[in-house]
Amino acid sequence: MNHISPQELKQRIEDDRLFLLDVREQTEHQEFNIGGKLIPLGELMLHTNEIPSDQPVVVYCKKGIRSQIAIQRLEEKLGLTNLINLKGGMDAWKRIFDQ
């Protein structure tokens, strides 16, 4: 599984074409988000057609655990190889960037 740090992600958001996938719940997304597409983990397999296969997809959640589960499911079911997990999730992002 590929991982990216919050610092690397912040840099790549500014420089690259990335698809951000938030697998948290609606309430978590409303409280704080970095602009990613919200598809809660429990609904993920119903929305696989919304996840691109032709660009890097950074998957994130609160701590990085649900996003790892999401990546495992997507890799197993769809064979995607473009998925990247945000290390530490939004908690790490907020700690580093104080948001």
CA angle, corner 66, sides to 21 and 11, nearest 5?
Answer: 45
Write down the pTM of the prediction: 0.95
Tokens 């978590």 sit at which residue?
A: 28
Contact 28, 93 (CB under 8 A): no
Note the residue count of the chain. Answer: 99
Q: Is the pLDDT of residue 10 over 80?
A: yes
**pLDDT tens column, 17-73:** 899 999 999 999 999 999 999 999 999 999 999 999 999 999 999 999 999 999 999
One-letter amino acid at 48 equals: T
What's the average model confidence in pLDDT over 78-95?
97
> Domain range holding 53?
2-97
**CATH number of the domain encompassing residue 77:** 3.40.250.10
For tokens 């420089």, the residue is 15
pLDDT score of 99: 54
Q: How many domains does the chain have?
A: 1
Say whether pLDDT at 14 is over 90: no
